[in-house]
Structure 1
Amino acid sequence: RPLISEFLQAVGHGIEPGLLGEMMAVTRDFFNLPLEEKQRYTNLVGDKREYRIEGYGGDMVLSETQVLDWCDRFYLIVDPESRRLHDLWPTRPPSFRDVLHRYSARCRELAGAAGLPEEGRLADMLDEKAVTYVRLNCYPPCPRPDRVLGFRPHSDGGVLTVLLAETAGLQVLRDGEWHDVPVVPGALVVNLGDVVEVVSNGVLRSPVHRVVASAERGRVSVAAFYTVDPEREVEPAPELVSEERPRRYEKTKKSGDYVRELLESLARGERAIDKVKLV
């Protein structure tokens, strides 16, 4: 059915429960590796330790006073396969590469069948040049969950996101209040991203969400982000702009640049989409 709600619990999605379990298992096993092993895939490169999107690490750090999220992350491009940086694909645990390859292929089938609205040609955006990022997240138990978040409030920058998680902690902002997103066994959580909000001229929304920290339990999750061609700029579809509903967004940067701006804005506690809003 069309994705008209902020978060959709996808059940009966056709991805085998065993594969979901394998993906969660290799994610846990990776984050349980010794730190020196994980740092072989660091997202800080070169003598200047410059931040790149792909790799293992934490937040992009822009200032010494920046409050960091209580979370370790590992970004990888999984599609198109020609864009994969295989040196960043871990060899431990031994099944990691195979499981991620199979899981990402099945998730892409789900994304393609997710019922994106036809307005503004949204359904055509996940073409052969579209890029899919996978982000593995690890939220360890936190001694002071009242002082820090697992992941600060943000919206996703792409077309849609597919999330695999078995533990509570995700919240969505609605009418100024935070609401828990329930964990449904075997379900995948799907939400729209900034691209959809811009192309639909605000008819559809990219929800603001966060992850809270917990003193009692850790949490791991796997998020797949479906973005458009990195060279593609995004703007409201002409058929969705009228006197009754004037244009609400400027044209964005190229998608590849927008993803980078999204992470920089996140580090500053801002939303990248706010920079292209007109009203």
Structure 2
Amino acid sequence: MTTIFDTVQHRFERLRSNKLFELIVIAVIIFSALVIGVKTFDVPEWLLSSLNVLDWAVTIFFLLEISIRFIGEPRKRDFFKNGWNLFDTFVVMLSLIPVGNHDMALIARLVRVFRVLRMVSIIPELRLLINSLLKALPQLGYVLLMMFVIFYIYAAIGTTLFASVNETLWGDIAISLLTLFRVMTFEDWTDVMYETMAVYGWSWLYFLTFICLTAFAFLNMVIGIVVNVIENENKAADAAAHAGEPTIVDVHRELLALKRQLAEQATRK
């Protein structure tokens, strides 16, 4: 019995690392996303019934795929140490909730939308990107905190000065924060500026300094931090992939040792 289980475990281990199997899983995830998208349209009843059958077929496939990955894990505890495995298992388990007219129907539909995120756990490059973003969060936190301070100061100034100009945009500090976010994203920000300039001619200085601090300085800092972390993660991944491979220095040392041995053998002769 143990031999049969070991044989199945070994075959499933080879299967889960097979590139064709990974491509099939990716194709099913994309198909699942298309099924969800088609359901948002006004489709005939027969097509909707067919899509529901296909949706359950996709759910069963994902359940089998998770089972193969679990059985193929040599140490079953290591399977649950991987956060992506836990995420995939959680999504697949929630996908088993039937879609009907009960209270859990909305949750079941939402969970099926999140099945598209399984693409991240399947493709290594996407996992590397997400891991890099998570590792960049501590550094980004200080930049975002400083951005909030700048936003808050400018919102307080804007509410004090421009509330009489346009109550809708500058009525209180919360609304001013939304207005400044609109300015930072360049969404018709000149209309906001020209409206205040009609009353305060110098107000252009307020908007230009805010844009320079947020849209140019701080956002570029955010991009720089993320790019730096991604580069470090790529270097770490390359180092891990080439770990144990002989380097040029190691080869050179081996050649020198071989030359010494040949020289010693020649001297003895």
* Range into which the TM-score falls when normalised by the shorter chain: under 0.3
Which has more radius of gyration? 2
Q: TM-score, normalised by structure 2?
A: 0.21
Higher share of residues assigned strand: 1
TM-score, structure 1 length as denominator?
0.20
Structure number with higher relative contact order (C-alpha < 8 Å, ≥ 6 residues apart): 1
